[in-house]
Structure 1
Amino acid sequence: MRAVDLARRVTADPLLRLLAHGFATTYGRPPGAVWRAPYAFRLAASAVDPGPPPAAAAPRTDWVAAANWYVAAAVSPRADGLLRCGSLNHPAESAELPLTGPAAPAPGWAARPYAVLRALAAAGFGRGGADLHVNATLPDAVGLPVAEPLECAVALALADVHAARGARPLSRAELADLLGAAVPGDHGLRRAALFGRAGRLLAADGSTDRPLPAPDDGPAPSLLLLTARTAPAGGDLADNGAGAATALATAVREALTAGARSASWPGTRPGRSVLLLMPPERRTAVRTAVIDAFRRCDLPVPRLLRIRVTSAARRED
Structure 2
Amino acid sequence: MGEAGIAGRLEADPDIRLTAYVFSRVYGDLPQGAWRAPGTLTLLGGPEAALTVALPWGAVVAAAPCADGSELYSLNHHEGPLAPSPGMRPPPWALPCVRALESVPAGAGLRVAVNRLLPDQMGLLSGAETFSAVSLALRDLRGLEPSGADPCSLHGPARALLLRAGSAAEPVPFDLEAAGLRLLLVELGPGGTGPASSEARAGDTVAVAERLRGGDCTALGAMLTQAHRPGNEAADLALEVALGVGALGGRRIGRCVLTLAPVPRIRDIRTAVTTRLEGLTVRPPRFLTAVPSDGAHRVA
Task: Please tell me the TM-score bracket, short chain as reference.
Answer: 0.7 to 0.9
CA distance in 2, matches of 1:137, 1:277: 22
How much is the aligned-residue C-alpha RMSD, in angstroms? 3.0
Q: For 1:41 and 1:15, how far apart are their aligned partners in 2?
A: 20
TM superposition score normalised by structure 2: 0.77
Could you tell me how far apart the structure 2 residues matched to 1:136 and 1:28 are?
A: 22
In structure 2, stretches of 5+ residues that fail to align are 197-230
Q: Does 1:204 align with 2:163?
A: yes
2:296 corresponds to which residue?
A: 313
CA, structure 1 residues 212+133, in 2 after alignment: closer, same or farther (shift >3 Å)? same
Q: Assess if the C-alpha contact under 8 Å between 2:189 and 2:281 holds in 1.
A: no
Give the structure 2 partner of residue 224 of structure 1: 184
Q: CA deviation at 1:265?
A: 3.9
Aligned residues: 262
Unaligned runs of 5+ in 1: 47-59, 164-168, 178-189, 238-243
**Deviations, residues 260-310 of structure 1 (Å, cap 9, x unaligned):** 1111344xxxx3212100121221222222112212646532121112211
Q: Aligned pair in 2 of structure 1 residues 78, 27: CA closer, same or farther (>3 Å)?
A: same
The answer on whether the counterparts of 1:34 and 1:73 sit within 8 Å (CA) in structure 2 is yes
- Which residue of structure 1 aligns with residue 206 of structure 2? none
- 8 Å CA contact retained: 1:143, 1:227: no
- Looking at structure 2, the residues matched to 148 and 87 of structure 1 have their Cα atoms a distance apart, in angstroms, of 16
Q: Does 1:280 align with 2:263?
A: yes
Alpha-carbon deviation of 1:211?
A: 2.5
Structure 2 Cα separation of the partners of residues 176 and 194 of structure 1: 11
The answer to whether the 8 Å contact 1:44/1:264 transfers is no
* Shift in CA distance, 298/264, structure 1 to aligned 2, threshold 3 Å: closer
Partner of 2:218: none
Q: Deviations over 1:180-229 (max 9, x none)?
A: xxxxxxxxxx51x2111101111123442223377xx9733111111211
**Alpha-carbon contact 2:99-2:131 (below 8 Å) kept:** no
Q: Does residue 103 of structure 1 match 2:91?
A: no
Alignment of structure 1 residues 1-317 onto 2, 5 Å: 5-44=5-44, 61-80=49-68, 82-98=69-85, 102-118=86-102, 120-121=103-104, 128-163=108-143, 170=145, 174-177=146-149, 191=151, 193-205=152-164, 206-212=168-174, 219-231=179-191, 235-236=194-195, 245-266=232-253, 271-295=254-278, 297=280, 300-317=283-300
Query: Does the 8 Å contact 1:4/1:34 carry over to 2?
Result: no
Distance 1:2 1:78 in 2: 20
Q: What is the CA distance between 1:116 and its match in structure 2? A: 2.2
Distance in 2 (CA, whole Å) between partners of 1:65 and 1:29 is 35
* Structure 1 consecutive aligned stretches of length 4 or more whose deviation exceeds 4 Å: 1-4
Q: Which amino acid aligns with 1:257?
A: G
Which whole-Å CA distance do the structure 2 matches of 1:158 and 1:201 have between them? 26
Change over 3 Å in CA distance of 1:253–1:32 after alignment to 2: same
